[in-house]
Amino acid sequence: MKKTAKPRNVTEKIIAAHLVEGDMAVDRELGIRIDQTLTQDATGTMAYLQFEAMGLKRIRNDLAVSYVDHNTVQIGFENADDHDFLASIAKKYGIIYSKAGNGICHQLHLERFGKPGTTLLGSDSHTPTGGGIGQIAIGAGGIDIAVAMAGGAFHIPRPKVRGIELTGRMPAGTSAKDVILKVLEKFGTKGNVGWIFEYFGPGVAALDVPSRATIANMGAELGVTTSVFPSDRVTRQFLEAQGRGGDFTEIVADKGASYDDVFTVDMDRLEPLAAAPHSPGNVVRVKSIAGKKVNQILIGSCTNSSYRDIRTVAQILKGKKVAKEVEVGIACGSRQVVEMLLEDGSLAILHAAGCRMLENACGFCIGAHMSPSTNAVSLRTNNRNFEGRSGTRSAQVYLVSPETAAASALTGKVTACEGVAKVPMPKKFPAVDDMFLYRETAGKGVPKTKIVRGPNIAPVPAGSAMPENLAAKVAIKVGDKITTDHIMPAGARLKYRSNVPEYAKYVFEPCDRDFHDNCRRNQSEGWANVIVAGESYGQGSSREHAALCPMYLGVKAVIAKSIERIHRANLINFGIVPFEFEDPRDYDRLSAGERLEFAGIARAIAGDGRIEVNGVKLRTDLTAREKQLVLKGGLLSCLN
Ligand code: MIC
Ligand code: SF4
């Protein structure tokens, strides 16, 4: 009898088509080919310095785009110097460059470049936004992007695929943001490492691409590898309207395809939700906080800045004024969005309602501006509300849908939206591409280009090989759910991203201002440094600086109850061992300042990853590839 192929889900199809190392049925780690890469300026400078160090003439993947959207405030010379550096690198190596003001990387990539069925690797944790268009789109550290641009594979743990079945239709006043908040309510921000969430079911067809992108985007908060939607009729219409019908491929799960687990969201029963301070996983009903006085409302970010989102807000605010005491700011995701809002009169509505129109950039989302006042309540449509990320430690930030944000703007209090007309997907989106540079030399480059390097661009520091025995001190002991915003703060410090010695001065600034000096002192006395942490260490961003700067300060190991995916990969890429406690209760037995003797650490890493230190049993579960990275002092040392 003829053997019929096993039915496959969308994830399996795309990964199988890109597999270059490993066997999907048996191996722990898979190597996949990367078609497209994206960087943003805050992580891009390092990625390109690392790419330069590889000595290639041009990029080797299909498409690389360098976006400038994070550091656009330009107080002082640093940001502008970085932009010049990025532009010159792009020109030289065949990368498309998106100028500051063009928009937010994920929104722009979805509109202009994302292609169903391809792989996308981005130096930003919200790269999975591309899952909304049927891409396997993954966030990673800058050095992984550099390797992918050089044609190298990217390694992921063999995914477990959770099918998220969408049934029913969203009730009035709810939207995609409420769907992903529902998923976050169920699965939280920890414990999802290694999973891919794939959306399926009858409810999917009713979601337009921007809504799918919102859900895939904020899947990053779950800590999953990525999230993905099928590429279907809706995807085709979106691409055709973008003038990119040729980029469409249908990718849907086969009949009878299975998942490792299934969770159903009955959208008929959805209600407006919010993530309360200080975690995207802290989900509450909007009803339960209704009437709370609000000081600030900010709409935008890569989660909710599409034409669909801002047009919805305009419909709610039409002919009305925002409440007198509330500050309302709106940042569109791209110039295409702005152009459409100009054309259909939405911008005039928002202006007349009393909104502050902000630049098409990350801006408020990363605390680069618009910090709220002391103890303020700020309602935002972005994806993260970690303590202090807004720039104001005492602020209470709630994450909500654009519908809830707009309804609340009118009352000055948390208010659920009772309903608003659905924004029809435009038949045609205008191509507003003039702030993309070097498209004509994409993939080829202009080799003679001189790289512009201002004084803020410092060389990438090198790692050191793991010694046979390690004498270390616990430089800091932190608790559970420490985010990369705690480890390497952004906001006012963001401008030092291309200058590791300077940026390293602020490692753990929100937790312990003496961390840098303590590490330096330990280093000068011949000790290595160790970080001790609780559950889910390194949540949030892909910023490799949260590993690179500690490496620069002599950190050789992190000992935690658990470590999140991207951060774990970044630690390994910079030669820092990610240890976990065999018995999490032993966390209580280690204290800050304690001396730790790692006898035979290199042997343990090369072997089964187990070691006993000061009577505490630790383990690190590394693949053969990862062992090499840690032993040699990181990825750059292995490449050179
Ligand atoms: C974020 O949302 O935290 C960021 C800023 O976009 C980061 C990247 C960075 O730290 O530069 C991310 O999500 O990876
Ligand atoms: Fe930018 Fe915020 Fe999106 Fe990060 S989450 S890419 S800071 S808009």
The per-residue pLDDT for range 489-529, each reduced to its tens digit, is: 999 899 999 999 999 999 999 999 999 999 999 999 999 99
**Please, is 523 exposed, middle or buried when counting C-beta atoms within 10 Å of its C-beta (0-12, 13-18, 19+)?**
middle
Across the range 326-331, mean pLDDT stands at 98
- Between the CA of 364 and the centroid of ligand 2 the distance, in Å, is 9
- Between the CA of 544 and the centroid of ligand 1 the distance, in Å, is 10
Ligand 2, atom 3, lies closest to the CA of 302
Q: What is the DSSP letter of 116?
A: T
What is the Cα gyration radius of the chain? 24
The reply to whether domains 273-411 and 470-639 share a CATH topology is: no
- Confidence tier at 636 by pLDDT (50, 70, 90): confident
Q: Which residues contact 255 (CB under 8 A, 6 or more apart)?
A: 7
Ligand with the closest atom to the CA of 542: 1
pLDDT number for residue 640: 64
- Between the CA of 388 and the centroid of ligand 2 the distance, in Å, is 15
Residue identified by tokens 């785009």 is 65
Ligand 1, atom 9, lies closest to the CA of 543
- Between the CA of 542 and the centroid of ligand 1 the distance, in Å, is 6
Ligand 2, atom 2, lies closest to the CA of 365
Considering the domain 10-19+28-269 in this protein, what is its CATH number? 3.30.499.10
Q: What is the DSSP letter of 31?
A: E
- Chain-centroid distance, C-alpha 416: 28
Neighbour tally for 26: CB within 10 Å: 7
- Between the CA of 195 and the centroid of ligand 1 the distance, in Å, is 21
**Please, is 237 exposed, middle or buried when counting C-beta atoms within 10 Å of its C-beta (0-12, 13-18, 19+)?**
middle
Per-residue pLDDT for 1 more than 60? no
Residues with C-beta less than 6 Å from any ligand 1 atom: 42-43, 70, 124-126, 139, 366, 384, 490, 540-543
pLDDT number for residue 133: 98
For residue 40, the ligand 1 atom closest to its alpha carbon is 11
Q: How is 463-494 classified by DSSP, letter by letter? A: P-PPPSSEEEEEEEE--SS-BHHHHS--GGGG
Question: Could you state, in order of their start, the residue ranges of all structural domains in the chain?
Answer: 10-19+28-269, 273-411, 470-639
Percentage above 90 pLDDT, the chain: 98
pLDDT number for residue 637: 86
- Confidence tier at 550 by pLDDT (50, 70, 90): very high
> How far is the CA of 227 from the CAs of 16, 116, 212, 541, in angstroms?
16, 13, 10, 16
Backbone angles phi, psi at 379, to 5 degrees: -100, 125
Ligand with the closest atom to the CA of 304: 2
Cβ–Cβ < 8 Å for 214, 176: yes
Question: Prior bond to 567 cis, omega within 30?
Answer: no
Nearest Cα neighbor of 429 from 240, 176, 248, 234 is 240
Backbone angles phi, psi at 75, to 5 degrees: -90, 115
Per-residue pLDDT for 32 more than 60? yes
pLDDT number for residue 441: 98
For strands 226-228 and 356-358, give the pairing.
Answer: unpaired
Considering the domain 273-411 in this protein, what is its CATH number? 3.30.499.10
Backbone angles phi, psi at 96, to 5 degrees: -80, 135
Nearest Cα neighbor of 218 from 161, 156, 283 is 283
For a pocket test of ligand 1, which of 104, 107, 541, 566 has the largest count of ligand atoms closer than 8 A to its C-beta? 541
Ligand with the closest atom to the CA of 541: 1
Strands of 512-554 (E only): list them.
Answer: 528-533
Architecture of domain 470-639: Alpha-Beta Barrel (3.20)
Per-residue pLDDT for 259 more than 80? yes
For a pocket test of ligand 1, which of 45, 68, 126 has the largest count of ligand atoms closer than 8 A to its C-beta? 126
Backbone angles phi, psi at 566, to 5 degrees: -65, -40
- Confidence tier at 161 by pLDDT (50, 70, 90): very high
- Between the CA of 310 and the centroid of ligand 2 the distance, in Å, is 17
Ligand with the closest atom to the CA of 301: 2
Strands of 497-549 (E only): list them.
Answer: 528-533
Ligand 1, atom 7, lies closest to the CA of 541
- Chain-centroid distance, C-alpha 247: 25
Across the range 221-227, mean pLDDT stands at 97
For strands 119-122 and 136-139, give the pairing.
Answer: parallel
Q: Which residues contact 593 (CB under 8 A, 6 or more apart)?
A: 473, 474
Cβ–Cβ < 8 Å for 435, 98: yes
Q: Which residues contact 209 (CB under 8 A, 6 or more apart)?
A: 110, 132, 133, 234, 235, 238, 425
pLDDT number for residue 532: 98
**Please, is 52 exposed, middle or buried when counting C-beta atoms within 10 Å of its C-beta (0-12, 13-18, 19+)?**
middle
- Between the CA of 70 and the centroid of ligand 1 the distance, in Å, is 8
Q: Which residues contact 65 (CB under 8 A, 6 or more apart)?
A: 36, 37, 38, 39, 95, 96, 97, 98, 105, 108, 109, 113, 436
Per-residue pLDDT for 338 more than 80? yes
For a pocket test of ligand 1, which of 46, 66, 70 has the largest count of ligand atoms closer than 8 A to its C-beta? 70
Per-residue pLDDT for 2 more than 70? no
The per-residue pLDDT for range 395-435, each reduced to its tens digit, is: 999 999 999 999 999 999 999 999 999 999 999 999 999 99
End-to-end CA distance of the chain: 53
Q: CA-to-CA distance for 402 and 422, rounded, in angstroms?
A: 13
Q: CA-to-CA distance for 542 and 276, rounded, in angstroms?
A: 23
Residue type, 531: I
Q: What is the DSSP letter of 539?
A: B
For residue 305, the ligand 2 atom closest to its alpha carbon is 8
Across the range 166-195, mean pLDDT stands at 96
Q: What angle do CA 220, 109, 86 make, to 5 degrees?
A: 100
Backbone angles phi, psi at 122, to 5 degrees: -135, 145
- Between the CA of 124 and the centroid of ligand 1 the distance, in Å, is 5
- Between the CA of 420 and the centroid of ligand 1 the distance, in Å, is 32
Nearest Cα neighbor of 529 from 578, 485, 471 is 471
Q: CA-to-CA distance for 325 and 411, rounded, in angstroms?
A: 10
